[in-house]
Structures are given as C-alpha cells and as structure tokens.
Amino acid sequence: MAEPSATAPALYADDVVPSRRPSASGGLGRSTVRFLRSSFLGSAAAAFLIGVAIVAFMADVVAPYHPLEAHYDATRVPPGEEYLLGTDHLGRDVLSRVIYGAQVTIVVAVSSVLIGETLGFIWGIVGGYLGGRADMVSQRLLEVMMSFPTLILALLLMSGLGAGLHTVVIAIAVTRIPGSARIIRSVVLSVKELAYVEAVRCLGASTPRIMLRHVAPQCIAPMLVVASLNLGIAIFAEAALSFLGVGIPPPTPSWGNMLGGVLAEAFRPPWWIVLFPGLAITLTILACNLLGDALRDFLDPRLRQRLM
C-alpha cells in the first residue's frame, strides 16, 4: 500500500460543496417542464400572464385606437362591432385603454416587486445570519413598517414624494420589503445551522462569502414564491392608489385610474366602463396568486415527490 503524501493539498471552503453541477440551461429547462406538468392551474396562470405581457407590450400593433384618441360623436357607446368594449365619457375606446393600461400596470408591479424583493432579500439574509443586536434592530424597524397598513403607508409616501410613475413604484416597493425580509430571515435562521454551513465556517470562510455562496442560494426558492404572490398585491396597490387619485396621473391610462376617473364623472357609470378594467385587475391578480400557489407546491421538498 502506498504511503500517504506528506504534503496534503490544502482544503478550502469551496471543496465542501460538490464541484460537479448540472448545466444551468438544462436544469432550468427540465425544471420548467416538470413544473408545467405538475400543475394545470399553475401552467394556465403562467400562460395567461405571459399572454397579458405580450399583448401589453405589443399595444401599438394590437390596440385598434390610440388610448387618448377621443371620438366626441361616440361617447358612452356600448360594446359593439366598431368598439368591442365600448367607449368612455370622452369617446375613447375602452379596449385600447385596457391594453395600454396593462403596460403601466405591469411595469409598476414588476419594478416595485423586483426592488422590494431584492431589498427584502438582502435585509433578511444579513439580519438573519448576523443575529444578535443587528438582527434585533432590523426586526424592530420591520415591525414599525409593518404596523402601517399597506395602502396607508403607500399613501403617506405618495403624499411626500408626489404623484408619478416612479413614486408609485417606490411607494409600493417599500411596502413589499417587510414581509419579504421576515420570510427570508426565517429561512436563513434554519439554513445557517446546517452542517455544511458550519463546515465552511470552520474552514475559515468569511461571513460575506458564506452569506453569498452558501446561504443566499437556499433562499431563492421561497423568494420566487413570495415574489409571485407579491405581484398580485402590487397590481392591487397600484390600482387602489390610482383609483384614489394619487397614483398614475391621467390622462395616462392604467387599470386603476380608469375605474377612478369614470366613478368621479358619474355616480352610476355605464357597466362596460367599470366591468372590463375591473375584470382585467381581477383575472391578473388571480393568475398571480395561482402561480404563486403552484410554485410553492412545486418547490416544497415534502410535496415534490408526489407532484413528479
């Protein structure tokens, strides 16, 4: 038997994690196919959201009219052959405004969730891993933010920042931080006690390296679930702010200010002016919630074997 070498190679923190990993593209493709097969409702919700995004960003091609084009000789025309979803009190085509309004709603929802989830993700990882006084201070700040109802906090921020697309994004993003940070923190508290994290810590890996390379990847799955659910909440928040007149300022169409504007004009507006923007909001939020539930079931290790 050969004698062991006197000079053994140095062991680094990265050696604890297996170096052989499947390709990202192949793994992502297989996971996507498994997810689509695992849940019919989740697949339908994802297809619906993709369809809404495609229609919204091809609005110049899909919409029959410009959203601000007024036909004063065709005000409050009910749905028909010329105007499929009718017209509003200024003779603007409701279908075109719903399609263009989807652009604003999607941009606001995705941007606010992306900003809020990113900040909450970082906040939760740092606070949960460091623990001690840093975690205590961060949790007290989160509790102060969570003590305000979502719309009240957004209204307070809007009153200080003023109306506009960017301020709506910032206001909604701030309201998404506390819940995301608390969920990610709860995951970090369990992950940091695992054996491989203890191993890389004993091997001398720095705290930022452990958080970035070994703790953060374990928090991606719950973050995706929270982000998909928060998309629906962000769409509702944008609609509510615009409905109250402090969100996207007219004449730029969004689903919320379409409802708020028409209700401000008349106590009993025509049914089609209220129904179709409200239906767009309802179906999109429902699709986001169904997608979030499907992702949660698919990414839960206890349910994964049953869904495969």
Decide if 154 is inside a domain. yes
Model confidence pLDDT, tens digit, residues 136-157: 999 999 999 888 887 888 888 8
Residue 81 within a domain: yes
Confidence of residue 281 (pLDDT cuts 50, 70, 90): very high
pLDDT score for 16: 45
Q: What Cα–Cα distance (Å) separates residue 205 from each residue in 30, 59, 124, 213?
A: 33, 51, 20, 10
| CATH code of the domain covering residue 147 | 1.10.3720.10
Would the pLDDT of 37 be above 90? no
The pLDDT value given to residue 50: 93
Taking the whole predicted model, whether its pTM rises above 0.85 is answered as no
What is the spatial distance between Cα 42 and Cα 34, in angstroms, rounded to a whole number?
Answer: 12
Q: Is residue 26 part of a domain?
A: no
Provide the number of structural domains found in the chain.
1
Residue 75 lies in a domain: yes
Given a cut of 80, whether residue 188 has pLDDT beyond it is yes
pLDDT of residue 42: 86
What mean pLDDT is reported for the chain?
83
At 102 the pLDDT is 92
Domain carrying residue 297:
61-307
Q: Does pLDDT of 125 surpass 90? A: yes
